[in-house]
């Protein structure tokens, strides 16, 4: 591949959100997010097909709007931020399904456990902002089983309800700026 034809896009953190949702007590959903993250996509040509994507998030930046819960998530019961300060994702394939829909498959690493995951990607469009920067917007969704990544803490209430669900829904709204 001729590296001169490649284009690098970087996540604009001020216009991006990295969120996750998990069932709590089976009856409601808790939403959390990462406040510190970075990522990039390298493309060749005019589309994002076959792009190379990478992403990382700082575990210490996790927030669920509850300090006690956030500290528990950072502990060894879940992410163990002290030993494993980041989660990472590196794409293996970036497949175009139609005009604005892609499927990205890659390796997600949490707590030193790496598993292949498949995510759905919708390209919201590419525009030039008022400052002359070319930007592209994406909505990325998928789900993982937290226990497959060593996030195995579990508890059951006296009534028999599971406190934290196993399935984590991922929802990323990402704006990329062309470098």
**What's the pLDDT at 1?**
47
For 2-15, write each residue's pLDDT tens digit.
455 889 999 999 99
CA 85, 87, 92, 98 dihedral sign is: negative
Read off the pLDDT band of 167 (50, 70, 90).
confident
User: Which architecture characterizes domain 3-178 according to CATH?
Assistant: Beta Barrel (2.40)
b/e burial code for range 106-125 (CB count within 10 A of at least 16 → b): bebbbbeeeeebebebebee
Q: What is the 3-state secondary structure (H, E, C) of 56-100?
A: EEEHHHEECCCHHHHHHHHCCCCCCCCCCCEEEEEEEEEEECCCC
Q: Is the pTM of this model over 0.85?
A: yes
For 62-75, write each residue's pLDDT tens digit.
999 889 889 988 99
- What are the angstrom distances between the C-alpha of 2 and each of 45, 130, 178? 11, 31, 18
The residue ranges of every structural domain in the chain are 3-178
Query: How far is 27 from 32, CA to CA, in rounded Å?
Result: 17
Instruction: Kindly tell me if the per-residue pLDDT of 56 is higher than 80.
Output: yes
Candidates 57, 51, 47; CA nearest to 13 is 57
- Show Cβ contacts of residue 69 under 8 Å, excluding neighbours closer than 6 positions: 30
Count of CB atoms within 10 A of residue 37's CB? 20
Query: How far is 152 from 136, CA to CA, in rounded Å?
Result: 36
**What's the pLDDT at 109?**
97
Query: How far is 144 from 166, CA to CA, in rounded Å?
Result: 8
75-89, 110-124, 159-173: which has the minimum mean pLDDT?
159-173
Instruction: Kindly tell me if the per-residue pLDDT of 26 is higher than 90.
Output: no
């Amino acid at each position: 591949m001729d590296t001169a034809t490649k284009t690098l896009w970087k996540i604009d953190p001020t216009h991006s959100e990295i969120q996750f949702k998990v069932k709590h007590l089976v009856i409601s959903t808790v939403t959390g997010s990462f406040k510190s993250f970075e990522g990039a996509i390298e493309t060749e040509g005019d589309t994002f097909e076959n792009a190379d994507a990478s992403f990382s998030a700082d575990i210490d930046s996790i927030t669920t709007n509850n300090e006690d819960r956030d500290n528990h998530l950072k502990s060894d019961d879940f992410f163990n931020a002290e030993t494993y300060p980041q989660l990472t994702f590196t794409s293996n394939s970036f497949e175009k399904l139609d005009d604005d829909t892609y499927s990205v498959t890659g390796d997600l690493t949490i707590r030193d456990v790496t598993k292949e995951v498949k995510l759905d990607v919708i390209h919201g469009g590419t525009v030039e902002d008022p400052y002359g920067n070319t930007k592209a917007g994406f909505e990325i969704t998928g789900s993982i089983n937290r226990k497959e990544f060593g996030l195995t803490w579990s508890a059951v209430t006296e009534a028999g309800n599971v406190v934290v669900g196993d399935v984590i829904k991922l929802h990323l709204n990402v704006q990329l700026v062309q470098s």
